Structure 1
Amino acid sequence: MLVAHATWHGGALCLWAERTGPHELDHEVHPFATRDFTGTSYEPLVKGASRVELRMALPTHGDHPLPSAELGPEPFEGEPELREWRVPALVLEPFPAMALLQAAEHAGDVVPGTDLRFLCLLADEAVHLTGRGLVLPALLREDGDLVARWRPVIDDPARFRDLVRAMPAACRAADGGRPAAQVLREALSGLIDTTVRGLVPHPLLPPRKGKVPDRIPLAERWFQALTGPDATVAREPRDNADELIAELEAWAAAARRPSGPLRVCFRLAEPGAEEFTKEFEPPETTGEPERTEEPDAWRVEFALQGTDDPSLYVPASLIWAGEATLVENADETLLAGLGRALRLFPDLAPALDSPVPAELILDTAGAFRFLRTAAPLLAAADFGVLLPQWAGKAKLGMKLTTRTEEGEGSGAAASSGFDLRGMVSFRWDLAIGDESIDEDELAELARLKTPLVRLRGQWVELDEEQLEAALDFLRHPRQGRMTAAQAMQAVIHAGEEHLPLVEVDADGTFGDLLSGEADRRLTPLATPEDLDARLRPYQERGLAWLAFMDELGLGALLADDMGLGKTISILSLLVHERENGAAPGPTLAILPMSLVGNWQREAAKFTPKLRVYVHHGTGRHRDEELVEAVRRADLVLTTYGTAARDAEMLAGIEWGRVVCDEAQALKNSGTRQARAVRSIPARSRIALTGTPVENHLTELWSIMEFANPGLLGPRAAFRERFAVPVERDGDEQAALALKRATQPFILRRLKTDKSIISDLPDKQEIKLYCNLTTEQASLYQATVDDMLAQIAEADDKQRRGLVLATMAKLKQVCNHPAHLLKDGSRLQGRSGKLERLEEICEEVLEQGEKALVFTQYAEFGSMLQPYLASRLDRPVLWLHGGTSKQQRDELVQHFQDDPEPAIFLLSLKAAGTGLTLTAANHVVHVDRWWNPAVEDQATDRAFRIGQTRNVQVRKFICVGTMEERIDEMIERKKALAESIVGTGEDWLTELSVAELRDVLRLSPEAVSDW
C-alpha cells in the first residue's frame, strides 16, 4: 500500500509517499518514506520532477515516526513528540503539480493522505475562483526580479480562517514548520497563477506593425508576462515599477468578492435533536426536546443555504418533498454539492446510495470524527457547516475561586485596601464550560471512555490525557487559605499539565489585578502640584497604576509605546509620593548613556524640587561618599555600564526603588550587566521599554525576572512552556496562558490608539531604491566571490565570521566605495545612495524643515558630515559614540531650538534611543540595521509626543543587491511575529551556501550606468 503525501515548500508542491512493509531503521531518514512512484498511476504525472530531501517535523514515538492515519493506527504508550526527519521527495513544476492535484484522488492504486487531499481542495478552490473571475493580476518583486503574477481575490476573513484551521500540519512541516496562514497564501496564489496561465492563451498582445520602438513600456512587458510559463518581466534602463505596483495594489484592495446564491450545508444534530420542518427558518441547537428513538444516533442533515443570507436554509427533506418551490434547481444544486463534498468527507458515501439523500446517521465516534476532521475541511471548501453551540467551547479545565478575607494580613495593608501578604480563601474546582463538576461525575466520564459525553444536558469533547490529569487533580487538597501572593503564583503556573485554567473568580482589587484592567478601573491620580506639566488622561491613569503596583510591592513593566512619556510618568510618581509623605526611599534609575542627559533635563524642567545625583564618570563618588550622596538625593541616575562595575557598592545601599529605562538592555539574562542589575536589592522595581520583546519571548522573561524575580519560574521552564509553543507552533492556548500570567504586571498603550492619544500626527514610511555605480558593482561582485571561495573550506566558527565580515563589507560598498576602501578618496559621483541623499537633504532644506539622517557606521558619518555641509552650504550636526555628554546635550538643544532648517546626522547605535528630536519631521535611514525594532526606535526620536507634523521616514535600499532581498525577508518575517529577526545580522550566518549565494548575488538592474 502506498500513501501519497504533499507539502508546500519553496513556492512549489513537494510530493512523497509512505509505504507499508519492512524497513531499515535510520535515526535521521524517515523509514517509511519514498519518492518512487514507479508502476503507479502517478508515474507519468511526476516524470521530470526534481529530487530533493526535506527536513520535516513529524509526530514521533520512540525511534520511528508515527504512520499516517491512512496506514492504520499504531498502538503505543505515552505521548508522541515532534522530531525532525529527512524525507526524500519530488519537487513538481507548476503545471505538472496542478495536473497531479486534479487527478490524485481518482488514482485507485495510490491512497492520498490528508495533506494531499487538502492541497487537492486548494487546487479545486483555485479553479473555482478562476472560473468566477475572482483573480487579479499583480506585479511583484521576487528575488530581485520583477514578475507578473495572478492572485486570488478572497475578501472574506472568515473563509480564509476556515482554510487556515483546516490545513493539516504535514502541509507546512518542512524546515521545522511554518504558520498555516503563510503557507496557505503561498499555495493558493501559486495554484491560481498556474490555473490562469493554463487557460489564457499566450501571447496576449498582437504583433507590432511598423518600426519597433526603442523602449517598450513597462506596462506592456508586464502584460506579456501574465501568460505563458515564464512570469519574469523583461527589464530595461530607467524602469520605475513603483507606480505600476502601487496602482495594481490599489486595484486589489478595492476588489470585492462576489458570492453565489446557494451552497450545500451540513448540520450536525445531537441525539434527541428535533428535525427542521419549517422552510427558511434558521437552525436552533439548544432547548430541543428529547427523542426516545435511537438514543445514540447523531444526524448530519443536508440542506441548501444562502451564501449572502445564511438564514435562508432549506433542508433536503423539503427539497425531495417538492416543497422548496422558491428555490430554482434545488435538487441539482444539492446533488452536485454532495458529490463534491464526498472526497472531503468519505463517511458520506452510505447516505449517497439513496436517490434522495437527506441525512447521514452516525454513532458517537463518527460524530466526533465529523467535528474534528470533516467539519473544518468542509467549511474551508466553502460548504455551510452548522454545529451545536457547545462544539469547540465546553472544555475540561480548572476553575479557581478566591475571596479576600478582612483583617487577615500578616503585615500592614496597603492604602489601596489590599495587601499581597493578606490571606484569601480559595477553592479549586473542575469545570466544563461554566459548569463545575464533582468527583463522581468525573469518574463516570472516565468510565465511559468516549470522546463525546453528555453532561448536565450538554455534550462535551474530552480526551484521555485530560481525564487522567483531572483524576490526579482530585487527589490533592482543593480548598483552604493562602496569601494573595500565593494565589497569584497559582494563577501564573496553572495549566502546566494537560488541564488549562478556564476561569478565575476573584473579588475586589485582587480581581482587578488579575484581569489586567486595573489601570482602567483605578481612579486616575490628578497631576501632582509640584509637577510643572499637565499630564494627559492616559498618563494620569498610568500614574495611578504605578502607585497601585508600588503599594502592593509588585514590580511593574511600563511598556508604553515609544514617545508616550515613560520618563515623565516615573518623575510624576516620585513627586506624587513625596507630596503624600509616602516616599519609599531614593530611586535608582539605570539608563543607557544616551539617556542620562535627557533624564537630567526633564527632571530639572518638570520636577525642579527633586534632588538628582548623577553617578557616572571617573569623578563619581564611591563607598561612604556614595552613601552620603544617595542620602541627600531623591533620584540617582547611573548607566548600565557603571551599574555593572559598581554593582557591589550599589547593592549595599537601601534603595526604595530601582528603575531600568530601555529595559531591553536586560534581554540577555545571562550577561554580566543583567546579573549585576538584578543583584541590586530594592523594595520595588520598574522596567521601562517600548519594545518588551525585540526578538524572542525569553527576552520578556528576562525583563520580568528583573521586575519580579522568580515570578515566571526558571528560564528553561518558561521557554518550554511558552516560548517554543508560541514562536514555533503558533500555539494560541500557550499565548493566552502567557498573557494571563503577565498582564497583571504590564501596562501597554500604543500611540496609534486614538483612545489613548488623538493628536499625534501620522507616520509615512517610504522605501527608496537606489542603483549602484559601475565601481560599486565591481567591488560588490569581487567581495561576494572572495567570500564564497573561502566559505567552502571554513569550519562553523570561521564561516560565521566570514559571513558577518562579508555582510559588513557589502553594506559599506552599497554606501560608497570610499567607505570600504578607506582611502580618503573623493565622494562625489561614485555612489547612488549619496546622490539620492543629497537630493533629499536639499528638498528638506528648501522646504524650511529638518531631517534626521541615521547611519550605523560612525566612520561613514564622519565622511558624510563635512561633505554634506559643503554641498548643502549649511552646518550639518553630527552625533556619534565619541560625542561627550555635554556636546550631546548642546547638539540636541541647538537642533530643537534653532528655527533654521537643519540636517542632523546620527550614529544609530549612539542616538537610536532616548533622545527627543521632534524638531525634525523627516527621518532617513541611509544603511539598514536589519532589525525592525531598532529602526523603529531610531525613527521615534522624531515621531513622539511633541511632534505636531506628519513624519516621513525614508529607508534606502540598493536595488538588485542583498539589501533588497534581506528587506523582503524581513517583511515576510514581520508578518509572522514582531521583529523575530535576530539582533544585527547574526541570523544571516545560519543561511546555507546556496541561500547565501542567492541573497548576495548582484542583479543587472542594480547598476545605473551599465
Structure 2
Amino acid sequence: LLGELKNLTPRRLQMLQPSVAGLHLAWQFAVHLLAKGAVMPQVFSCESETLVRWLPATLDVTVDNLLEQVARQLPDGLISFNDWALTGKRQAITLCSLMLDRLVQSVPLKKGDTPYDKLFFLTGRVTFDSRRESASAASIAQWLSRLTLVHREQPPVIMLDEAGEDFALHLAVKITDQPAPVMLADILWQKCYENTRMAVLQTLAMLAEFYPPLCEYLRAGGRQALRLTAQTLPDFLFTALPVIRMLGIQALLPKALDKILRPRLSMQVKSSSGAGGSSGFQLGNLFDFDWRIALGDRQLTVTEFETLIDSAEGIVRFKEQFIYLDPDEIARLRNKLLNPPDIKGMALTQTALSGEYAGTPIMLDSAAREQLRQLTSVGMPSQPVSLNATLRPYQQTGFAWLTHNLALGIGGILADDMGLGKTLQLIAVIQHQKETGALAERKVLIIMPTTLLTNWQREIARFAPTLTTAIYHGGKRALSDEMPDILLTTYGVVRSDAATLKKQHWRLVAADEAQNLKNPASAQTKAAKSIPADAFIALSGTPVENRLAEYWSIMDFALRGYLGPLKTFISEIEKPIQMDRNQQVAERFRRITAPFLLRRLKSDKTIISDLPEKIETDRFCELATKQAAIYASVVREGMQVIRGESDAFQRQGLVLQMIMALKQVCNHPAHYLKNKQMDAALSGKAQLLLDLLDSIEETTEKVLIFTQFKEMGELLQSWLTARYGEQPLFLHGGLSRKKRDEQVERFQNDRSVRHFILSLKAGGTGLNLTAASQVIHYDLWWNPAVEAQATDRAYRIGQQRNVQVHRLLTRETFEERINDMIRNKKALAEMTVGSGEQWLGKMTDDELEELFRAGQD
C-alpha cells in the first residue's frame, strides 16, 4: 500500500476515491514528520514482548494542527480493530503511526544487532529474556518520560528577561493552587514547598538534559540567573528552545524575541533602461535590479551590511528589533554576492509581480512601481462604434483587459466559463483593433476545432459586420493576396500548413477551445506556437483540465517562455501545489499569472444574473430480462479473461473493452449485438428515454440527446422516428461541416424540430443550441467536465428558461457504482477525470468484480 501511495502521480490521485486522497495526505504528512524529526517513540508491553511505535510529536502545536487537518480528510472507519471503527484524530494518529513505523524501518541507518536496535529501528518489537534486559526495558521507558515533562504534576516553566546588553534565564514550575509560576529559589528555600521539592528537582534535572547550561543554574539553587550573552543566546533560542517547546513546555520570552530577523538576500527592483523603447513594451525587458540585504521589511545596501557585520556577532539589537548574525550564514551570503544568481528577463518580471525573491520581500523604486501599474491597471475603453451588441459589465471588463494587454504587446488566457461570451469579447477586441488602425498591415488568425468555423463566421458577421473574414480550410484552401481582417482556420490545418501560415506576421493569433494545445509535445501545439504574431490569446473555459503542466502549455502559447521550461515548472510549481499542497507556492503562482489570466464563472450571480438555473437529475432504470442475462454473461466471460491476464497493459485494455461492452449492453442489447431490428422495449434505458420524451412532448420544449456512440444514435433516431412521426436530427463526426451547420441552423430556428441527437465528441463543444431547454445524457462518459461541456450547449447566454438535465443510469450495474464514486469526489472529478474510463483499468480483480456485478449483495 505504501509503495502505491508513494508512486501516485497528481493525475492518478485525482482519479481515485476521496479515501485514497486522504491516505495519500497521511503518507505525505508522515514523510514530512520524519524528515523534520517531529516524531517520538512510545514504549509499551504486550504479554511477554516490549514494543515501540512511532507517533507524531503532537506536543508541538504545528504538528497537532496539521494532524487535525489530516483527520478531517479521512473517512471514519478507515481503520478498525476487532470490529471497532476508529474515527477522527484517534484514527489519524493510528494511521500515521503505522506509516511512521514502516518509514523508520526503511531508513538506511547503520543499525546494530542489539535488542534496542531491533526494538526502535528494525521490527518495533522484541522479547527481553533476562532480568537485566527487562530492567533495561524499564529504563528505556523511564528515559522516554523526559518527552512528557509537561504532563508531570509540577510542569516546568522557562523565563527569559533582558538584563542590559545580555539576558537572564530563570526556571520556575506551575503549582496547582498558585496563580503564577513559582521560582526555583522559592521552591528550595520556602518551607511550604518542601513536600514537592524533590519532584521539582527531578523534573528540572531532566529538563537540563535538553540544555546542559541549566545544570549551573540548578547547582546555584536558582538564586542567580543564568546569564546569556549575544554569543550564547543563539544556542538556547535555536537549538534548545525548539525542542523544549515541542515538548509543550512553556517558555516566557521578551516580545522582541518573538521574531528574530536574519539577513536574507533580496533586491531593489527598478525600471530597465530598455523598457518602453522603440521595441515597445517587452515583458522580459521591463526591470533591472540591485542586490540588497533584507532584514525584515528593511533593506541594506551591501556596504551598509558589511559595516553592520564588522562590528557585531550573534543576536544583537537593530532598530528596536533583534537580528541574528550567524557566521556561517554571513559567509553564504557573501558568497552569493560574489557569485550572484542569474535573475533576468521573465524571471525578474515574475519576481516584481510576486513581490518576493526566494520568500524574501523585495523593494521596488518609483519607476518600477509605475511599470507594474502600467502592466496591471486596466482602463475602460469605449465600446467599438461598429459593434452590434451591448456588452454586459463583465464582458466590458474582459474586452478592456484584452485590449489593454494587446496595447502592451502581450497576450493572455480568457478562461471564462462556457456560455459567458468569450467569442463576443474577442470580436469586440478585434473590432476595436480595426477602428484604431491596428489591422491596417497585420491581420488576425483564429484557430479552432472544425465544427466551430461556421459559428465563428456567423458570429463575426452578426456582431461586427465591418470586419472581413475568410475560412482557410478544405482541399482547395489558399491564402489570398488581399488578406481579410480575420482568417479562420482549424488546428488540423495549422498542423499541416504551418509553413504557409508562418510566412505572415500576424497582429494577433487567437486559439479557441485552447485546451487543444494542452499537450506541449503534440504537432499541432508546436505548429500553433511557431506562427509569428504581435500577441497571442487563448480562449478556454477549462485551462486547467487535469494538470498544471497542461496549463503551462496553454500559457506558453499565450506568453512564450513566461513560465520557464516545463521541467522547472513541474518541479518548482506543479509538484509543490498539487502534491505538497504548498499554499505559499500557490499564492505566488496566482500573483505571477494574475495579469495574464481572466476567469469568471457563470455560477457566480454577481457576474451574470439573467442566466436561469440548470437542474440536474439522475434517472434510474432497471435492466430488462434479456439485458440482465447478456450483462451477466459479459461480466462472467470478461472477468475470466481479465483474471487470467498477467500483463498490466494488456489487462487494462481488456478492462476498457469490457467497460465498452457493458455500456452497450446497458444502452440496449441491439447496440451490443449489432442488431438494428430489435424493439426499444428490450432495454430499460431505452424505455425510460421514451417515457421521458413522452412527458416532454406535451410541452413546447426542445430536447438535446447525447450519446457517445454513433451506432446508438442511429438506433435512437429510428425509434424516435417511429414513435413521433418525424426523424430527429443527428449530428455526428461523419457529417460534413455544411451538414452540421444546416442541422444546427434548423434546430435553432425550426419550431417543428423537437429532438436533436448528438454524438458527445462531435457536439459536446463550441455549438450554441439555446433553443433546447431539456438535455438528456443517454450514456455517460464518466467525466463531469465533458458532460458539463455538452450540457452547456443549451445552458448559455440567450437561454430564457430553466435547463433540465437528465442523466440516465442503469440501477445495480457498474453505471450506478461509478456514478456514486464520481459523485462522492465531485469537486475533484470535475477538474481531473479527463481520460474517460482509463482510471478504471488499474483496479484490482476483486474491485472490478464488485464494480461490474449486477444486482445487490
Q: TM-score, normalised by structure 1?
A: 0.62
Determine if contact 1:852/1:924 at 8 Å carries over to the other structure.
yes
- 1:691-748 deviation line (CA, Å, top 9, x unaligned): 0011111101111222222222222221122222222222223322332332232122
Whether 1:967 aligns to 2:823 is no
In the other structure, the counterpart of 1:757 is: 608
Contact 2:174–2:181, Cα closer than 8 Å, also in 1: no
Alpha carbons of structure 1 residues 105 and 438: separation in structure 2 relative to 1, 3 Å? farther
CA distance in 2, matches of 1:267, 1:708: 59
Change in CA separation of 1:971 and 1:267 when aligned onto 2, cut-off 3 Å: farther
| Percent identity over paired residues | 37
Q: Which residue of 1 is the match for residue 70 of structure 2?
A: 180
Give yes or no for contact 2:509–2:533 (8 Å, CA) kept in 1: yes
Q: Post-superposition shift, 1:664?
A: 0.4
The 5-angstrom pairing of residues 935-946 of structure 1 reads 935-946=787-798
What is the alpha-carbon distance in structure 2 between the residues aligned to residue 319 and residue 601 of structure 1? 85
Rate the CA distance shift 1:909–1:446 in 2: closer, same or farther, 3 A: farther
Aligned twin of 1:930: 782
In the alignment, does 2:170 pair up with 1:295? no
**Structure 2 vs 1, CA of residues 855 and 394 (structure 1 numbering), >3 Å: closer, same or farther?**
farther
Which residue in 2 is equivalent to 1:436?
Answer: 299
Equivalent residues of 2:159, 2:253 under 8 A apart: no
Q: Which amino acid aligns with 1:610?
A: L
Q: Is the aligned partner of 1:113 residue 2:14?
A: no
Partner of 2:770: 918
CA–CA separation in structure 1 for the residues paired with 2:171 and 2:774: 64
Q: 1:318 to 1:543 in 2, by over 3 A?
A: same
Structure-1 residue corresponding to 2:475:
618
CA distance in 2, matches of 1:536, 1:599: 20
Pick aligned residue for 1:646 from 486, 497, 504: 497
Instruction: Choose which of 556, 565, 583 in structure 1 pairs with 2:421.
Output: 565
1:471-550 pair list within 5 angstroms: 472-476=335-339, 487-488=348-349, 499-500=358-359, 502-503=361-362, 505=364, 518=376, 521-550=377-406
**Are the counterparts in 2 of residues 410 and 422 from structure 1 also a CA contact under 8 Å?**
no
The equivalent of 1:599 in structure 2 is 456
Does 2:525 match 1:664?
no
3-state SS in 1 of match to 2:423: helix
Q: Which runs of 5+ in 2 are unaligned?
A: 8-22, 89-154, 184-208, 215-225
Per-residue CA deviations over 1:31-86 (Å, capped at 9, x if unaligned) read xxxxxxxxxxxxxxxxxxxxx9x99679999xxx97966679xxxxxxxxxxxxxx
8 Å contact kept, 1:875–1:902: no
Q: CA deviation at 1:688?
A: 0.8
Shift of the alpha carbon at 1:868? 2.4
Q: How does 1:453-472 map to 2 (within 5 A)?
A: 456-458=319-321, 470=333, 472=335
When residues 620 and 57 of structure 1 are mapped into structure 2, their CA distance, relative to the original with a 3 A threshold, is same
8 Å CA contact retained: 1:771, 1:832 = yes
- The match for 2:66 is 165
The answer for the alignment partner of 1:404 in structure 2 is 271
Distance 1:392 1:292, change over 3 A: closer
Report the Cα offset of residue 546 of structure 1.
1.3
Q: Cα offset for 1:931?
A: 2.0
Partner residue of 1:709? 560
> Where does 1:569-580 land on structure 2 (aligned, <5 Å)?
569-580=425-436
CA apart distance, 1:814: 1.9
Give the secondary-structure state (helix, strand or coil) at the position aligned to 2:390. Answer: coil
Per-residue Cα deviation, 1:239-266 (whole angstroms, up to 9, x for no partner): xxxxxxxxxxxxxxxxxxxxxxxxxxx9
Give the Cα separation in 2 of the matches to 1:378 and 1:901.
74
Match of 1:551 in 2: 407
Change (3 A) 1:396 1:181: farther
Aligned residue identity for 2:754: A
Whole-angstrom CA distance in 2 between matches of 1:112 and 1:611 = 75
Q: In the alignment, what sits opposite 1:587?
A: 444
- Whether the 8 Å CA contact 1:693–1:700 is kept in 2: the answer is yes
1:629-681 Cα deviation digits (max 9, x unpaired): xx331111111111112122112222222111000001111112222222222
Distance 2:822 2:276 in 1: 52
Identify the residue that residue 578 of structure 2 maps to in structure 1. 727
Distance verdict in 2 for CA 1:569–1:907, change over 3 Å: same
Match of 1:816 in 2: 668
Whether the aligned pair in 1 keeps the contact of 2:703 and 2:773 (CA below 8 Å) is: yes
Between structures 1 and 2, the one with greater helix share: 2
User: Hey, what's the Cα distance between the residues in 1 that align with 2:3 and 2:649?
Assistant: 33
**Contact 2:313/2:325 (8 A) holds in 1:** no
Residue 217 of structure 1 aligns with which residue? none
Question: Is the contact between residue 651 and residue 680 of structure 1 (CA under 8 Å) also seen in structure 2?
Answer: yes
Alignment map for 1:105-504 (pairs within 5 Å): 109-115=50-56, 165-166=66-67, 180=70, 183-186=73-76, 194=85, 271-272=160-161, 295=167, 297=169, 316-317=179-180, 399-404=266-271, 409-411=276-278, 413=280, 420=283, 424-431=287-294, 433-436=296-299, 456-458=319-321, 470=333, 472-476=335-339, 487-488=348-349, 499-500=358-359, 502-503=361-362
TM-score (norm 2): 0.72
Residue in 2 that maps onto 1:677: 528
Q: Which amino acid aligns with 1:317?
A: A
Q: Return the letter of the residue paired with 1:956.
A: L
Q: How does 1:737-748 map to 2 (within 5 A)?
A: 737-748=588-599
Question: 1:114 is matched by which residue type in structure 2?
Answer: L
Aligned counterparts of 2:628 and 2:240: Cα–Cα separation in 1 = 60
Report the equivalent of 2:686: 834
**Letter of the 2:503 counterpart:** G
**CA separation of 1:653/1:985 partners in 2, compared to 1, >3 Å: closer, same or farther?**
same
Further displaced range: 832-841 or 595-604:
832-841
C-alpha distance 634-819 of structure 1, shift in aligned 2 (>3 A): same
- Which letter does structure 2 place at the counterpart of 1:653? Q
| In structure 1, C-alpha distance between the alignment counterparts of 2:288 and 2:369, rounded to whole Å | 12
2:730 pairs with one of 864, 878, 881? 878
Q: 1:687 Cα deviation (Å)?
A: 0.8
Specify whether residues 693 and 882 from structure 1 end up closer, same or farther in structure 2 by C-alpha distance, changes over 3 A only. Answer: same
SS across alignment from 2:831: coil
Q: Name the stretch that deviates more: 695-704 or 551-560.
A: 551-560
Instruction: Tell me the SS of whatever aligns to 1:317.
Output: coil
SS of structure 2 residue aligned to 1:829: helix
Write the distance in 1 (CA, Å) between the matches of 2:623 and 2:512. Answer: 40
**Which position in structure 2 is the counterpart of 1:22?**
none
CA distance in 1, matches of 2:827, 2:325: 34
CA distance in 1, matches of 2:589, 2:807: 35
Q: Distance in 2 between matches of 1:735 and 1:110?
A: 42
Residue of structure 2 in register with 1:783 after alignment: 634
Is 1:999 aligned to residue 851 of structure 2? yes
Query: For structure 1, which runs of at least 5 residues remain unmatched after alignment?
Result: 1-5, 11-26, 29-51, 73-100, 122-158, 168-178, 198-265, 273-289, 305-313, 321-345, 351-360, 1006-1010
Structure 2 distance, partners of 1:468, 1:763, is: 63
Question: Counterpart of 2:671 in structure 1: which amino acid?
Answer: H
Q: Secondary structure at the match of 2:167?
A: coil
- Compared CA separation, residues 650 and 194, structure 1 to 2 (3 A): same
State the shift of 1:897 in Å: 2.5
Residue 726 of structure 1 contacts residue 732 of structure 1 at CA under 8 Å; is this kept in 2? yes
Distance 1:561 1:692 in 2: 10
Q: CA deviation at 1:291?
A: 6.2
Greater RCO structure (CA 8 Å; 6+ sep): 2
Shift of 1:918: 1.7
Letter in 2 for 1:952: Q
- CA distance in structure 1 between the partners assigned to 2:664 and 2:260 by the alignment: 56
Separation of aligned partners in 1, 2:539 and 2:776: 26
Once the two structures are TM-superposed, the CA of residue 296 in structure 1 deviates from its matched residue by: 6.2
Offset at 1:596? 0.8
